[in-house]
Amino acid sequence: MNLTLFDLDNTLLDGDSDFEWAQFLITKGVLDREVHAAKNQAFYDAYKAGTLDIHTFLEFQLAPLARHSRAELDAWHREFMATRILPQISVAARTLVDRHRTTGDLCAIVTATNSFVTGPICREFGIPHLVATIPAHKGGHFTGAPRGTPSFREGKIERVEAWLESLGLWWGAFERSTFYSDSLNDLPLLAKVSHPVAVDPDDTLRAHASQHGWPILTLRV
């Protein structure tokens, strides 16, 4: 059996779902444009530069979940999927996922973006497993804080290993392990698998992939 892991943002998606969710809430008037637009862009720039403080970012990104009912959030997310996410999914991305699914690989999306935002996207791809940052909740409402280790940088390895353990598996259980990602932030997990693949990579990851002979592919239209 083979293990295939997919990063989501700027990999399977032609965009960043975390960034787009905040932008969507701004356009809906849920978040104040003057206050939140600049912060959202600054966090996104820090992520791309590899300098993001994930805990400070999660305070910003998860807070809106705590201020609204799950019914409101779910309704907004359905609109978000239709208007922001589906246009970012290419035929090439769907084809790549389907190829691994039909060959019987154990597949998962592994993303730093929280599971409320990414769960429906994962289901849209037909991928059965999601390893994501988990927003804490109590009594059916989000608290605005994360639960456990964020699925970010080295945290992705910790979270993937915990998920595999829950299935009675470990890295050595697979003939081949593959991870597709665009980001320098994913270098720890890319180095962990037997077959790392750079997808439309940022400059740092492209240079690293070229130096180490990793495949580089594009899923963009």
Q: Is 179 within 8 Å of 194 (Cβ atoms)? A: no
Closest by CA position to 18, among listed 51, 40, 46, 49: 40
Catalytic residue among 9, 18, 105, 182: 9
9 is catalytic: yes
The residue annotated as part of the active site, out of 7, 18, 186, 202, is: 7
Strands 176-181 and 195-199: parallel
* Beta strands at 141-147 and 176-181: parallel, antiparallel or unpaired: unpaired
User: Per DSSP, what are the bridge partners of residue 13?
Assistant: 89
Determine the Cα–Cα distance for residues 55 and 60; give it in Å rounded to an integer: 9
Concerning whether 18 is annotated as a catalytic residue, the answer is: no
Catalytic residues, by residue number, are 7, 9
